[in-house]
Chains A and B, each alone.
Chain A
Amino acid sequence: MKINLTVNHKNYSLQINSDLLLVDLLRDHIGLTGTKKGCEIGECGACTVIMNGKTVNSCLVLAVQADGAEITTIEGVANNGDLHPVQQAFLEHDAVHCGFCTPGMVLSAINLLNHNPNPTEFEIREAIAGNLCRCTGYQQIVEAIQSAADKSK
């Protein structure tokens, strides 16, 4: 079947199988491997993307469900080479260790700040509770998100 969707402001028209998952569409059909697979059952958040203004686990979304959708992946976050404030803050606070959770974390953080520019520490932790990280203990990630929020005030 055929679907149309927008990924990082680019329009795609693709011929796909009905059982294709959104994460595989992104990784294997349009080559955006920044979206990761860590569990494939919706538990780890490594595959997080923003779809129509909401974060979703792209391993739980069928590609056909994304027909007509607007999607942002980690590759679409920087603007012409200028890092998003959240990305910048992750660099400054050493919130990136192995980096495998980072794409999902950054997108969850951006989506939080889009809806709640002044989050409390608890709200930040809640917003990334669906994104597992095995390396950082989350502390520097929480600090990074807090500082990105403070800076955009």
Chain B
Amino acid sequence: MNKHQIIGSRQKRVDALGKVTGAAKYAADYNIPFQLYGAVKYAEYPHAIIKKIVTAEAEKLAGVTTVLTCKDVPGKNHFGLIPNIRILADDRTRYLGDVVAIVAAENIKTANQAVEMIQIEYEELPAVFDPEEALKPNAVKLYDEGNQIVHHKVRKGNITEGFRQADFIIENKFTTQAIEHAYLEPEAALAMPDEHDGFKIIGCMQNFYTSHKVIAGALDKPLSKVQIIQSTMGGSFGGKDESATLVAVRAALLAQKTGRPVKMVNSREDSFIQSYKRHPYKMYYKWGCKKDGTIAAMEMKIIADGGAYCSMSPFVTWRSVVQATGPYYCANVKTDVYAAYTNNNFTGAMRGFGSPQVNFAIESMMDELAEKVGKSPLEIRLQNGFEQNAVTATGQKLDHYVSLKDVLQTSANESSFETCWKENKSKQKIGKKIVRGIGLACAYRGVSLGAEGVDAPSSIVYVQPDGSVSLASGIIDMGQGARTAMAQIAAEVLGLPLTRVHFQEPDSGRVADSGATVASRGTIMGGGAMKIAAENVRKIMENTAREKFKLSKGDIVFKNENIFIRKNKSEKKICSFDTLVEACYQAGRPLFASGVRNIAVTSWDEETGQGNAYFTFVYGTNIAEVEVDLASGKVNVTRFLSTHDVGKAVNKSMVEGQIYGGVAMGMGYGVMENFIQESGKAKTINFDEYYIPTALDMPKMKSIIVENEDKFGPFGAKSIGEPALEIAAPAIANAIYNATGKRIYNLPANLEEILLGRKLRRDVERGSVSCKIEV
């Protein structure tokens, strides 16, 4: 039986009605009178010194209000973790998505025309597009400090000794591609001066606290004079951090200069050209294994392409170094992960955040090991997989409930994995047109930010005098359902139906800086803060009830919009929720409270890579079935099972939704998506050439939710957003092997990879650019 009233049930999303009627307003849907339109002038070389920018002619064009370059930024032009992202390119251009100048005009057509009239003199520099090349001593440098962004290490045991004990070695190189977040809503913002010498910006920033600081910094204004309002977001997946901030801050600069509202909307092409991507990785995996199937040594070297700016590279690659061994025992580990600057698009946060890449390598290695020692993929994982109190490569003892083997076994049983796998393996492939395969992948994942950063989000609960409830949180909803999860948590604590609870748009002045809604920390951390805030309000109400109704003993229970007293297992109603609210206000006790959730139990040593990286972990298994057309190389995913231990599902429908969406994105990563750049030039800049899965590409999926409540999560909840995506690609790659006997070493497993084992290059200009209707 469900011990909760609202938590754990299927509840309709609190914000779906407006979305299904067209009433929901996304950033580009906002307009105000006398607004101007912004447009950007892109760099013309991926690496060049900017000698001179001539804007005079553009400024003279009728309808143009202003043209700005880096010289016109009153405050800070640089931002980021290592502050090297340029709002407007200054000393040099470092990738083709750099913006050298911005224009505001009466309409978008004029703004675009003016952009064409801006002339820039460059001194072209040699450029570097391969991160391994970039790390060589004689490589051309993007920054004086050199091209290495970061080098993370993990050192455990003695690697030489480990390899000495090994009976054989498996050594492979894996590569993964850059991919686009492809949130369906391109970035947009509307910036306007307010009446008190400040600015208001409406936009779709995933991390609006960062945007707030960047915009105030660029305008040279105190934070209190800049208000950020977050509109309904059309997806983000980690992507609307710096990319959306750039759009918003450029609009704000134009608004400041002109004194008028400025709207800036990215086209899909702008979005592809400017925005950061998932890091492409090169991974060198070398494992020393024993005949019995155990692993004596693991040595990994990984190089990530960070592109032109630092962005989240240090954190993304940190997760990779922590998780590079997978959830498998090994006494001797040496891992090195590097990120390097290149003149490609910069790379940053994307759902998965450094795990999808290493999971592809780990799970491919595991299958190869199974094959070498004559075991099945399931057997080898059950043999090597983490159990209760296992110690990870970073020396962390897993003292929460370790459910790896549960999720593996459950998935295998549900899909008859062993039988199907053996059957496909033994089938004759030669002469066949279509072959079938089944593949398995599992993973563990550290929850939330871990030792990578401060982790303390806030929430606010306000029970209004009429008994309706307003919530605000520093955690935002980009489509994953945070509003609903938060509303459920507050409603549960206060014993109210969901319809009484209203979630307010995030606003930079409303809730204290909560950091970014990233790392699948929304529910476990933000939800935790919401629970504390609601409990704080409930405490005021409880105290008032005790005084007013003279209750000394017994527990006060909030249920079904009423207040009860529980003594010796029997419950007696005291009054309605509304009556108690009224009593509180009459007693001069407004029902307004905030809550902060702060879990600080992580640690890390940079030199040895040892420490308690995350306060808890989640476990999952994916099983994919594929059909491969041996004539064309086309892979069809025909069946998919995804099992995840989520701690506690706050809302089952939403957890399933996260799983299905994650699988789709993981499948895109596995078999079709590829952001192609040639000499820094983006070739796939819209959906005609950058393919994401359609309804016809997706099989019917099945999800299994496993629940082992975690002491750190609200009601035991952990997370699902990123786990949902991170093992789909390796499950598919392993299924392809089961079908064809060919191992995939390079993602995506598209036609050329399947047939040739490598990617074809093409040197043509993008075809569809010339076809686009210009109006």
Binding site for B on A (CB under 8 A): 19-21, 27-28, 32-41, 43-44, 46, 60, 73-75, 77-78, 83, 87, 90-94, 96-103, 106, 121, 124-126, 128-142
* Interface-central residue, A78, A134, A136, by most chain B CB under 10 Å: A134
Closest B residue, CB atoms, query A122:
B696
Q: Which residues from chain B contact A87 at a C-beta distance below 8 Å?
A: 20-21
Between A and B, 7 residue pairs with Cβ closer than 8 Å are A36-B234, A38-B185, A38-B268, A44-B268, A100-B26, A135-B235, A138-B660
Q: Which residues from chain A contact B233 at a C-beta distance below 8 Å?
A: 98
Q: Contact at A75–B21, with CB atoms within 8 Å?
A: yes
Interface of B is mostly: loop
Give CA–CA (A78, B12) in the complex, Å. 18
Q: Which residues from chain A contact B630 at a C-beta distance below 8 Å?
A: none
Q: Which residues from chain B contact A93 at a C-beta distance below 8 Å?
A: 653
Q: Which residues from chain B contact A36 at a C-beta distance below 8 Å?
A: 26, 184-185, 234
Contact status of A94 and B653, CB under 8 A, knowing A33-B25, A128-B695, A135-B235: yes
Closest A residue, CB atoms, query B484:
A94
B535 at the interface (CB under 8 A from A): no
Q: How far is the CB of A128 from chain B (nearest CB, A)?
A: 5
Q: Contact at A94–B656, with CB atoms within 8 Å?
A: yes
Give CA–CA (A98, B481) in the complex, Å. 8
B701 at the interface (CB under 8 A from A): yes
Within 8 A of A (CB), among B4-44: 10, 12-13, 15-26, 28-29, 31
Q: Contact at A98–B694, with CB atoms within 8 Å?
A: no
10 nearest A-B residue pairs (beta carbon): A34-B22, A98-B479, A99-B19, A100-B234, A137-B660, A137-B664, A74-B22, A33-B29, A43-B687, A94-B653
B490 at the interface (CB under 8 A from A): no
Q: Contact at B661–A135, with CB atoms within 8 Å?
A: yes
Q: A99-B479, A134-B184 are in contact. List 4 more A-B contacts (CB 8 A).
A: A91-B12, A125-B696, A137-B663, A137-B665
Q: Which residues from chain A contact B25 at a C-beta distance below 8 Å?
A: 33
Give CA–CA (A19, B663) in the complex, Å. 41
Q: How far is the CB of B701 from chain A (nearest CB, A)?
A: 6
Number of interface residues of B (CB under 8 A): 61
Q: Which residues from chain A contact B654 at a C-beta distance below 8 Å?
A: 94
Q: Contact at B235–A19, with CB atoms within 8 Å?
A: no
B389 at the interface (CB under 8 A from A): no
Q: How far is the CB of A29 from chain B (nearest CB, A)?
A: 12
Q: Contact at A94–B28, with CB atoms within 8 Å?
A: no
Q: Contact at A132–B688, with CB atoms within 8 Å?
A: no
Q: Which residues from chain A contact B29 at a C-beta distance below 8 Å?
A: 27, 33
B232 at the interface (CB under 8 A from A): yes
Q: Contact at A138–B772, with CB atoms within 8 Å?
A: no
Q: Which residues from chain B contact A39 at a C-beta distance below 8 Å?
A: 268, 686-688
Give CA–CA (A139, B660) in the complex, Å. 7
Contact status of A99 and B698, CB under 8 A, knowing A19-B775, A134-B665: no
Q: How far is the CB of A9 from chain B (nearest CB, A)?
A: 15
Contact status of A137 and B698, CB under 8 A, knowing A44-B184, A98-B183: yes
* Interface-central residue, B23, B183, B657, B663, by most chain A CB under 10 Å: B657
Give CA–CA (A94, B18) in the complex, Å. 14
Q: Which residues from chain B contact A28 at a C-beta distance below 8 Å?
A: 31
B478 at the interface (CB under 8 A from A): yes
Contact status of A139 and B701, CB under 8 A, knowing A44-B687, A97-B661: yes
Q: Which residues from chain B contact A33 at a C-beta distance below 8 Å?
A: 22, 25-26, 28-29
Q: Contact at B184–A100, with CB atoms within 8 Å?
A: yes
Q: Contact at B657–A94, with CB atoms within 8 Å?
A: yes
Contact status of A132 and B185, CB under 8 A, knowing A34-B22, A83-B21, A100-B26: no
Q: How far is the CB of B704 from chain A (nearest CB, A)?
A: 14
With beta carbons under 8 angstroms apart, the residue of A91, A92, A97, A132 that contacts B657 is A97
Q: Which residues from chain B contact A83 at a C-beta distance below 8 Å?
A: 20-21
Q: Contact at B21–A77, with CB atoms within 8 Å?
A: yes
Q: Contact at B184–A38, with CB atoms within 8 Å?
A: yes
Binding site for A on B (CB under 8 A): 10, 12-13, 15-26, 28-29, 31, 181-186, 232-235, 237, 267-268, 478-481, 653-654, 656-657, 659-665, 686-688, 692-696, 698, 700-701, 768, 772-773, 775
Closest B residue, CB atoms, query A90:
B20
Q: Contact at A132–B234, with CB atoms within 8 Å?
A: no
With beta carbons under 8 angstroms apart, the residue of A60, A73, A106 that contacts B20 is A106
Give CA–CA (A139, B693) in the complex, Å. 12
Give CA–CA (A43, B773) in the complex, Å. 14
Give CA–CA (A74, B696) in the complex, Å. 24
Give CA–CA (A44, B182) in the complex, Å. 11
Q: Contact at A102–B694, with CB atoms within 8 Å?
A: no
Q: Which residues from chain A contact B665 at a C-beta distance below 8 Å?
A: 134, 137
Give CA–CA (A99, B663) in the complex, Å. 19
Contact status of A138 and B698, CB under 8 A, knowing A19-B775, A41-B687, A44-B687: yes
Q: Contact at A90–B695, with CB atoms within 8 Å?
A: no
* Interface-central residue, A43, A91, A140, by most chain B CB under 10 Å: A43
Q: Contact at A134–B20, with CB atoms within 8 Å?
A: no
Q: How far is the CB of A56 from chain B (nearest CB, A)?
A: 15
Closest B residue, CB atoms, query A32:
B22
Q: Contact at B22–A91, with CB atoms within 8 Å?
A: no
Q: Contact at B695–A91, with CB atoms within 8 Å?
A: no
Q: Which residues from chain A contact B268 at a C-beta distance below 8 Å?
A: 38-41, 44
Closest B residue, CB atoms, query A84:
B20
Give CA–CA (A75, B18) in the complex, Å. 10
Contact status of A102 and B12, CB under 8 A, knowing A125-B695, A126-B696: no
Closest B residue, CB atoms, query A76:
B22
Q: Contact at B20–A98, with CB atoms within 8 Å?
A: no
Q: How far is the CB of B143 from chain A (nearest CB, A)?
A: 34
Give CA–CA (A124, B659) in the complex, Å. 21
Q: Contact at B687–A91, with CB atoms within 8 Å?
A: no
Contact status of A99 and B232, CB under 8 A, knowing A91-B16, A94-B654, A94-B657: yes
Q: Contact at A98–B235, with CB atoms within 8 Å?
A: yes
Q: Contact at B772–A98, with CB atoms within 8 Å?
A: no
Q: How far is the CB of A123 from chain B (nearest CB, A)?
A: 11
Closest B residue, CB atoms, query A77:
B21
Closest A residue, CB atoms, query B265:
A37
Q: How far is the CB of B753 from chain A (nearest CB, A)?
A: 23
Q: Contact at A38–B186, with CB atoms within 8 Å?
A: yes
Give CA–CA (A87, B15) in the complex, Å. 13
Q: Contact at B664–A74, with CB atoms within 8 Å?
A: no
Closest B residue, CB atoms, query A96:
B16
* Interface-central residue, B20, B234, B693, B775, by most chain A CB under 10 Å: B20
Q: Which residues from chain B contact A131 at a C-beta distance below 8 Å?
A: 695
Contact status of A140 and B660, CB under 8 A, knowing A91-B20, A94-B654, A98-B234: yes
Q: Contact at A37–B694, with CB atoms within 8 Å?
A: no
Q: Which residues from chain A contact B182 at a C-beta distance below 8 Å?
A: 134
Closest A residue, CB atoms, query B660:
A137
Q: Contact at A132–B660, with CB atoms within 8 Å?
A: no
Q: Contact at B22–A129, with CB atoms within 8 Å?
A: no
Q: Which residues from chain A contact B479 at a C-beta distance below 8 Å?
A: 97-100, 135
Q: Contact at A134–B183, with CB atoms within 8 Å?
A: yes
Q: Contact at B184–A91, with CB atoms within 8 Å?
A: no
Give CA–CA (A121, B29) in the complex, Å. 34
Q: Contact at A74–B21, with CB atoms within 8 Å?
A: yes
Q: How far is the CB of A8 from chain B (nearest CB, A)?
A: 10
Contact status of A138 and B22, CB under 8 A, knowing A46-B184, A98-B185, A132-B184: no
Contact status of A140 and B686, CB under 8 A, knowing A33-B25, A39-B268, A75-B22: no
Give CA–CA (A87, B20) in the complex, Å. 6
Give CA–CA (A105, B104) in the complex, Å. 34
Give CA–CA (A83, B662) in the complex, Å. 29
Q: How far is the CB of A32 from chain B (nearest CB, A)?
A: 7
Q: How far is the CB of A132 from chain B (nearest CB, A)?
A: 6
Q: How far is the CB of B593 from chain A (nearest CB, A)?
A: 30
Give CA–CA (A56, B30) in the complex, Å. 24
Give CA–CA (A132, B665) in the complex, Å. 12
Give CA–CA (A94, B694) in the complex, Å. 18
Q: Which residues from chain B contact A38 at a C-beta distance below 8 Å?
A: 184-186, 268, 687
With beta carbons under 8 angstroms apart, the residue of B21, B26, B181, B698 that contacts A139 is B698
Q: Which residues from chain A contact B693 at a C-beta distance below 8 Å?
A: 137
